[in-house]
């Protein structure tokens, strides 16, 4: 302490500024990855949880936040230590067969999200009175153009700012005047039901909170930034701050919809129903504010997800990749990218499709496929050959495997209960 006091004040200020700018240089991947879960299908899932079950699912945010932090931290640590993306490590360490299984799970999960984003764009445009048969094809062409020309950072920032409209849910949660004693009790009092609808919603919450593509994205991002071992602490802080921020917003979406929709017995059928949760803040303009946020959130995901998926799968399986290559040179890469866009547009334009239900269903699929990726992540984080002294510690390992086991058990329980209900 005495030594620190003897350091000149100008030098101390310089050190503080250095730490601040160092954090800003590392800042980004964790916050962006975590908040990417608050996109179209994520908003629909949290809104459905609040509208259908009130405050009773708030308890799930505590274990989900811990799970999310653990998964993000392992991927950040692997990216910093190895300098390789998750797909690269899976291929090198597990071989082609295991890689194919993991990438198939990732492809299915990401296809579901992309479909959900186009459905979200359709819902947002219809709140403004624009038919989906115009908005969805135009959006697909815009996404294609952005990717072919390279995704401009400024465009992504605009969509990110639009999606921050959902911060209004925090204000809506307070203005709806929920019973805070009940809210606090539900946060710390776990309740569980062995029924298909409840299990479906829990798995969907897990799927949208710890979406598989987030883990791939954050590891690739820290690698691209050139983050080294000296900055590992800052990268971890970025991941933890991102998780906390995203889950606070998500929890308030549940609180706001529970306080405004559940108490009135309103069931979500479309985006207009979900928008009612913002009525305490902006009144009759709620649907327009919700539409802006929904469009921004969906476009933010659509601007990068199809391309990131094509890169991950092509990279993992050793296929040629790159937008500068022709279809003859990189047929798998360009084929995956094109197919994802086409499938998303096609499904979003199906007449009479249950929109909110489809959005939640895609996140349930994410939750079911998540264990496959978690097992690969934990095994890699324990590999001393690639991680060295940075491999999982004993207690961290217990936590990581417990999380993987619980998520796997919930997935199997939902599958089993669904099969039993069929008969």
The tens digit of pLDDT for each residue in 186-209 reads: 998 888 888 888 888 888 888 887
Q: Give pLDDT, residue 36.
A: 63
417: nearest Cα among 205, 207, 193: 193
Q: Give pLDDT, residue 149.
A: 64
305: nearest Cα among 117, 34, 100: 117
d(CA 45, CA 135): 23
Q: Which residue ranges of the chain lie beneath pLDDT 50?
A: 1-7, 9-26, 152
**Domains in the chain, please, with CATH?**
29-382+394-422 (1.20.1740.10)
Q: Give pLDDT, residue 398.
A: 93
**Which helix (DSSP H) or strand (DSSP E) does residue 157 occupy?**
helix 153-163
Share of the chain above pLDDT 90, in %: 15
Q: Give pLDDT, residue 1.
A: 44
The answer to whether residues 51 and 257 touch, using CB atoms and an 8 Å cutoff, is yes
Q: How far apart are the first and last CA of the chain?
A: 71
d(CA 393, CA 370): 23
Task: Decide: helix, strand or coil at residue 38.
Answer: coil
pLDDT tens digits along 97-122: 888 888 888 888 888 888 888 888 88
Q: Give pLDDT, residue 295.
A: 81
Rg (CA), the chain: 22
Q: Give pLDDT, residue 26.
A: 46
Rounded to two decimals, the pTM is 0.82
The answer to whether residues 212 and 105 touch, using CB atoms and an 8 Å cutoff, is yes
d(CA 388, CA 386): 6
The answer to whether residues 184 and 58 touch, using CB atoms and an 8 Å cutoff, is no
147: nearest Cα among 354, 379, 303: 303
């Amino acid at each position: 302490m005495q030594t620190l006091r003897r350091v000149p004040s100008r030098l101390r200020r310089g050190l503080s500024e250095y730490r601040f700018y160092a954090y800003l240089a590392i800042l980004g991947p964790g916050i962006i990855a975590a908040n990417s879960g608050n996109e179209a299908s994520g908003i629909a899932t949290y809104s459905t949880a609040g509208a259908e079950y009130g405050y009773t699912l708030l308890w799930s945010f505590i274990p989900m936040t811990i799970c999310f932090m653990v998964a993000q931290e392992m991927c950040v640590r692997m990216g910093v230590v190895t300098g390789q993306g998750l797909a690269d490590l899976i291929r090198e360490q597990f071989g082609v067969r295991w890689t194919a299984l993991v990438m198939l799970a990732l492809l299915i999960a990401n296809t579901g999200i992309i479909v959900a984003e186009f459905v979200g764009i359709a819902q947002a445009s219809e709140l403004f009175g624009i038919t989906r048969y115009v908005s969805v094809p135009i959006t697909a062409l815009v996404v294609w153009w952005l990717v072919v020309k390279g995704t401009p950072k400024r465009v992504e920032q605009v969509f990110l700012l639009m999606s921050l409209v959902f911060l209004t849910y925090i204000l809506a949660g307070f203005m709806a005047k929920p019973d805070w004693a009940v809210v606090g009790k539900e946060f710390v009092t776990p309740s569980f039901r062995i029924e298909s609808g409840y299990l479906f919603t829990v798995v969907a919450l897990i799927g949208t909170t710890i979406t598989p593509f987030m883990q791939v994205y954050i590891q690739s991002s820290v690698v691209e930034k050139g983050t080294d071992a000296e900055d590992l602490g800052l990268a971890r802080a970025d991941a933890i701050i991102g998780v906390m921020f995203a889950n606070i917003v998500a929890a308030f979406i549940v609180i706001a919809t529970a306080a405004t929709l559940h108490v009135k017995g309103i069931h979500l059928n479309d985006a207009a129903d979900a928008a009612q949760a913002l009525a305490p803040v902006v009144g009759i303009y709620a649907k327009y504010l919700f539409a802006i946020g929904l469009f921004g959130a969906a476009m933010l995901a659509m601007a990068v997800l199809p391309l990131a998926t094509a890169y991950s799968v092509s990279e993992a399986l050793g296929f040629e990749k790159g937008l500068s290559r022709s279809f003859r040179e990189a047929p798998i890469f360009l084929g995956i990218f094109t197919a994802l866009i086409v499938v998303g547009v096609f499904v979003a334009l199906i007449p009479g499709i249950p929109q909110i239900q489809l959005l939640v269903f895609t996140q349930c699929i994410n939750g079911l496929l998540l264990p496959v990726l978690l097992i690969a992540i934990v095994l890699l984080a324990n590999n001393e050959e690639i991680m060295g002294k940075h491999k999982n510690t004993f207690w961290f390992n217990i936590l990581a495997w417990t999380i993987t086991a619980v998520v796997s058990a919930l997935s199997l329980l939902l599958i089993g209960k669904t099969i039993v209900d069929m008969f």
